[in-house]
Each structure stands twice: as C-alpha cells, then as structure tokens.
Structure 1
Amino acid sequence: MSELRTEVGQLKHAVRAHATVDQAIGALAAISNIRPEQAWDVLTEVSQHTNIKLRLVAEQVVEWTCDGELAEEVRRELQRSLARQEPCAAPPS
C-alpha cells in the first residue's frame, strides 16, 4: 500500500511539473512571438547552460510573467537563446 501511495505522489508531482513547463512554453511563445517548439528549445538551452533543472527554469519563467523578476543567470541565458530564434511570420492580431 505504501508503494502505491509513493507512486501516486510521484505521478501527481510529474503532472504538476509538466503543467508548469507547458505554461512556460506558452508564455515564451506569446511574449517572444516564437513557435511552441522553439520555446521548448529555449527552455532546454537555458536549463543546460545554467545547470538548472528544466522544471525549475520553467517555474522561474512562469513567475517572471507575474512579478517581472528573474534570476540574472537565467535572464542572460534566456536573452541569448531567444536572440537565436526566428520569430513567427506575423504576430497574432
């Protein structure tokens, strides 16, 4: 029974983490006028270059949309990665 509780807890954590990553992808795509696939690439690059877990980078990006604050290291890598992305043809109207 305790194994089942542990597994359920792990699954709940995974679902929350996935939702946070999806929110960060959407935020980056909308703010930067890039495709979701590009936003995923940006998140993974920032994670790799800062040695911060992807879930934690995503959490910071989501919080950044609310409070405007972002760790300097993450902000720097985010700017670098976004600068390499080709924007969508036309922003939504």
Structure 2
Amino acid sequence: MAFFAHSEYEPLRLKSVTDLVREVERLSVENAQLQRAVTSHAQVDQAIGALVVLAEISPADAWDVLRDVSQRTNTKLHTIAGLVLEFAQGCPLPGTVREALRDALARRRPSPAAVH
C-alpha cells in the first residue's frame, strides 16, 4: 500500500512506512504537549479566579500575583496555581509559597492611607 504526503510547499511524494511511523510519533508527542498546556492553562485560570474571590483583587492583579510568587519561589506557574487551588479547598500552603503569596498580595493592595 502506498502513502503520499502533500503540502502547500512540497509536491506530492511517496512516504515510507518508517516516515509514517516517525510522523505518528512526532504528532503523538506534540499532542501530549498540547494536552498538558491546555490543562495547565485551565488550572492557572481557576487559580486566578480563586485569588479574585479570596483576596478581592482584579483578575489582572491575580495573574501578577501568581507570576510574582512563581518567580520569587522559583516554582513553575502551574505548580503555584495548583497550590493556590488546594489552599482554596482548605489545604495548607508550603511556607515559602505562603510567605511569597502574602508579600505579593500586600504589594497589590492599596495602603490604608490611600483609602478615603
């Protein structure tokens, strides 16, 4: 059985079974990466929502807080988001994350003197 590859940039050409296997492997890896990205993005969005409600800050500030905590603790953003979601459900935060989150939130809240 013959298999052909066609693209806008290259003419119709015969592909070997080995080429097809490599292409399937490449697409499988790409698919797994995309699935992880979608899951991670959803988790970050949920953590932003949790911070909006719990800390009474804007979504933009919540994003900044997550990013800030991630950078200051040298922890991946999706990991911080997962910890925030667990915290929202009653689990404790690790000490370094708790301190970085407290500090990041303090930097985004107006000072008492600024409130009329």
Report the TM-score when normalising by structure 1: 0.89
Alignment of 1:31-46 (within 5 A): 31-46=54-69
Q: Aligned residue for 1:91?
A: none
Q: Which of 19, 29, 32 is the matching residue for 1:9? A: 32
- How far did residue 68 of structure 1 move? 2.9
Identity %: 47
Give the aligned residue type for 1:9: A
Task: Supply the RMSD in Å over aligned alpha carbons.
Answer: 1.0
Cα-to-partner distance string for 1:17-36 (whole Å, 9 max, x where unaligned): 00000011000011111000
Residue 78 of structure 2 aligns to a residue in which SS? Answer: helix
Q: Aligned residue for 1:52?
A: 75
Alignment of 1:11-90 (within 5 A): 11-86=34-109
Give the aligned residue type for 1:10: Q
65-74 vs 28-37, which deviates more? 65-74
Number of equivalenced pairs: 87
Name structure 2 gaps, 5 residues minimum. Answer: 1-23, 111-116
Bigger radius of gyration among the two? 2
The higher-RCO structure (CA 8 Å, 6+ apart) is: 1
Structure (1/2) with the larger helix percentage: 1
User: Separation in 1 of the partners of 2:47 and 2:82?
Assistant: 7
- How far did residue 65 of structure 1 move? 0.9
Structure (1/2) with the larger strand percentage: 2
User: Separation in 2 of the partners of 1:33 and 1:66?
Assistant: 17
Name structure 1 gaps, 5 residues minimum. Answer: 88-93
Report the TM-score when normalising by structure 2: 0.72
